[in-house]
Amino acid sequence: MNDRECVALLGWALPRLGHRWEGYRRVRRRVCRRIAARLRGLGLADAAAYRRRLEADPGEWAALQACLPVTVTRFCRDREVFRALAAVVLPALAQAALAAGGTALRAWSAGCANGEEPYSLGLLWRFGLQARFPGIRLEILATDIDAQVLQRAGTACYPESSLRELPGEWRQAAFSRQGGRYCLRPGYRAPVRFVRQDLAQEMPQGAFHLILCRNLAFTYFSEPRQRRIASQLAERLAPGGCLVLGSHERLPRGTAGLQPWPGARHCYRKAPGVWQSEQRRREMRPPIGE
């Protein structure tokens, strides 16, 4: 299967899976390699034969879907975003939580790949903010559709190239060298919990103060799916909470309830409203039977 054939196949198949071709244009070679391997596994000669197979066998779409995820990432990818989180967003979230009597901030990394993004957030909190906000802990949920990347995330060992944007002191303190790889020490893994989840099908329960949804929905998903996901993410945010996108991504037009966060590029804020911690709400709930 050559590039032209693969591009034609993707142009036909991606919208049927709720994805957009433009998101895959630059990364298509790795996706095409996976599809070519699938063709070989099925003993099919070319892209046209694979298209006929997809038309005849609805079950094959799941196999094609599994060829699509692009898992490229690294620690503190888009440094500017992490700088804005440290300087502007997380302090504001922590102050609001304290003012409402809260003790925890809940963060969600949607499409976490091998764990670099949620672990970066944990390191940022630990080294940059924890001392300023000792009364607050950061809890991080990380989800991904791909079981293999989640397995790697649990192992938390990375090549040096993945750590290139991390400050040297963080690297020294938080990682140990093991056979040429850098492994995150257990204490730094603890705040992150990994769950396998398809963002297009389901979202975690409860409200989040911070959601990172970068280089996934707003790059690869079709416009209608982006609009649906954007409004569901806005619903999942606690009042005053923040949604962070990738540096090449924009919210779909017409997304309600989110405004650019002043001084923090790629960050969007939900209107503050009344910020009440879960804890405070539980305390205020009348006892059962009243």
Indicate whether 128 belongs to the interface with ligand SAM (CB under 6 A): no
* CB-based contact 62:69 (threshold 8 Å): no
Query: Which window, 28-36, 144-152, 258-266, 274-282, contacts ligand SAM (CB under 6 A)?
Result: 144-152
Q: Which residue is nearest to ligand SAM (CB)?
A: 111
Instruction: Using CB under 6 A, pick the residue from 111, 128, 191, 241 that binds ligand SAM.
Output: 111
Does 199 participate in binding ligand SAM (rule CB under 6 A)? yes
- Total residues contacting ligand SAM by CB under 6 A comes to 20
Nearer to ligand SAM, 49 or 66 (CB): 66
Half-sphere exposure of 233 (CA within 13 A, CB side): 30
Nearer to ligand SAM (CB atom), residue 108 or residue 182: 108
Contacts of 214 (CB under 8 A, 6+ apart): 77, 78, 81, 111, 117, 244, 245, 246, 249, 266
Give the per-residue contact string, 243-262, with ligand SAM (x = CB under 6 A; - = no). ---x----------------
Q: Is 72 in the site for ligand SAM (CB under 6 A)?
A: yes
Least Å distance between CB 112 and ligand SAM?
A: 6
Q: Answer yes or no whether residue 216 interacts with ligand SAM by CB under 6 A.
A: yes
Helix (H, G, I), strand (E, B) or coil at 287: coil
* Position among 10, 32, 35, 149 found at the interface with ligand SAM (CB under 6 A): 149
| Interaction of residue 225 with ligand SAM, rule CB under 6 A | no
Q: The tokens 């967003």 sit on which residue?
A: 89
Residue environment code for 69-96, b if the CB has 16+ CB neighbours within 10 A, otherwise e? bbeebbbbbbeebbebbeebbbebbbeb
216 touches 229 (CB < 8 A)? no
Stretch that binds ligand SAM, among 51-59, 109-117, 154-162, 270-278 (CB under 6 A): 109-117
Instruction: Show Cβ contacts of residue 34 under 8 Å, excluding neighbours closer than 6 positions.
Output: 67
Residue 222 interacts with ligand SAM (CB under 6 A)?
no
Residue 161 burial by Cβ neighbours in a 10 Å radius (0-12, 13-18, 19+): exposed
Given candidates 17, 138, 215, 245, which one binds ligand SAM under the rule CB under 6 A? 215
| Segment 44 to 63, residues that bind ligand SAM, using CB under 6 A | none
CA distances from 136 to 58, 78, 97, 101, 213 (A): 49, 25, 8, 10, 23
By the rule CB under 6 A, 91 interacts with ligand SAM: no
Q: Which position among 10, 50, 117, 174 is part of the footprint of ligand SAM (CB under 6 A)? A: 117
**Min dist. Cβ of residue 91 to ligand SAM (A):** 23
* Spatial strand order in the sheet of 181-184: 157-158, 181-184, 175-178
Distance from C-alpha of 136 to C-alpha of 208, rounded to nearest angstrom: 14
What residues line the site for ligand SAM (CB under 6 A)?
A: 69-73, 77, 111, 113, 117, 144-146, 149, 198-200, 214-216, 246
